[in-house]
Amino acid sequence: MTTILAFAFVLGVLIFVHELGHFVMARRVGVRVLKFSLGFGPRLAGFKRGDTEYVLSAIPLGGYVKMAGENPDDPRTGRDDEFLSKTKWQRFQILIMGPLMNLILAVVVTAFVLMNGAEIPSFQSKPPVVGQIAPGSPAEKGGIRTGDLIVSVAGREVKTWEQFFIAVGTRPDRETPIVYERDGRQVSTTVTPTPQTKYEVGDIGVLPDSHPHVGSILPGSPAEKSGLKTGDVILKVDDTIVTFPNQLVDVISKNANTPVTMTIVRSGAEQIVHITPELNGGRGRIGINIGEDVIKIKPGPIDAVAMSFQRNYDSAKLIFQTVGQLITRETSTRQLMGPLAIAQLSGESAQAGWLPLFALMASISLNLGLLNLLPIPVLDGGHIFIMTLEGLARRDFSVKVKEKMFLAGFAVLLMLMVTVIYNDLTRIQVLQKFMPWR
């Protein structure tokens, strides 16, 4: 139920904001709006005020604003309040306002999240100096060693761990040139990142020299009985290296009532601790609060907006880079997510709290705004693209030409929808046994 409600909330806000942009600008330039719909298909509820019918429809995967004289084959009277009676500049303003509202929402929501405080792992902004290498990993096979400084991935410079993880993560099962620096000289190698997690994020098995530590211990817990102490740095659980808190949580959760060997660092020396996670709430727990080296930020309103602009700008560059890599097949289409995956992420974020849910909303809003600007007929960007071509040609295209353009755009979107829904289905564990080719 949490997943459904969170998904409905996120999607509802994004659709409403997008269509509100079209609606407000249409009214501003004097275009008569016939219908404002949240959702497609059969009408569930609605009311009419003035010339506009406001509707909530059954299929909640989009929305639309229907304007008078919007399409060439619509009945037209030639009145000034019809969409096609307006100048190209006025029509451009109406079309651009939907995606623009999503971009504005992304900036505003991100700023709100930052103002409420954020914790960033300290290693994330540091140079990608290899601190750990997983045994048998692509990095080890490619000759990369502890202490090497990663310089570039697939020809793109990486200056921080964050940039490195993004560069490698978008290239699962793709041969990837890596340039690293060792003893003052640069060395090249080629590795193939292995897909990890159900979202198939590329990984070559290198990690920073960072590990979670014991923040506090619950009295009477397995951690206290085993001799763990506050401040202990956890390197490994059995043979699994742990760098991030979620890795530690995962490996402990899977070993309820099963003894594990934990390698820790205490007072500068490595030690071995034997511990048996107890079953609690359906998963293994050892009774510690996990600490992590983080940078805490809580900017004021002005700084938060500035940071939000920068973060969204960086994310926008990554989105366009990913689109380009999809076209050139550098990035696998298996990483694309559809409505089912977004619903699951919404549920997981909602369980983590309101701030993670708002952060996810900002991310999806940015993606929605930018992808709607792509020059694909049917999308807002496609309408703008066709209108631009008409402006350059100094004539309007015929209805038949436009129909062919929109049919091609619809085919592209249909293929995209089939791909993302297929990807979503392959991530459902119950269905995986029916897909032996995966």
Catalytic residues: 19
Task: Measure CA of the first residue to CA of the last residue in the chain; give whole Å.
Answer: 29
Do residues 17 and 101 make contact, with C-beta atoms less than 8 angstroms apart?
Answer: yes
Do residues 155 and 166 make contact, with C-beta atoms less than 8 angstroms apart?
Answer: no
Q: How many Cβ atoms sit within 10 Å of the Cβ of residue 406?
A: 17
Do residues 370 and 313 make contact, with C-beta atoms less than 8 angstroms apart?
Answer: no
Place of tokens 């909330």: 9
Closest-CA residue to 210 (of 182, 248, 181): 248
311: tokens are: 């973060």
Do residues 45 and 56 make contact, with C-beta atoms less than 8 angstroms apart?
Answer: yes
Place of tokens 């401040």: 231
Place of tokens 């119950």: 430
- The DSSP string of 224-285 is HHHT--TT-EEEEETTEE--SHHHHHHHHHTTTTS-EEEEEEETTEEEEEEE-PEEETTEEE
Query: Which amino acid type is present at position 220?
Result: G
User: Cα dist. 395→44, 86, 110, 122, 428 in Å?
Assistant: 41, 15, 42, 57, 50
CA distance 427 to 338: 11
Place of tokens 């904001």: 17
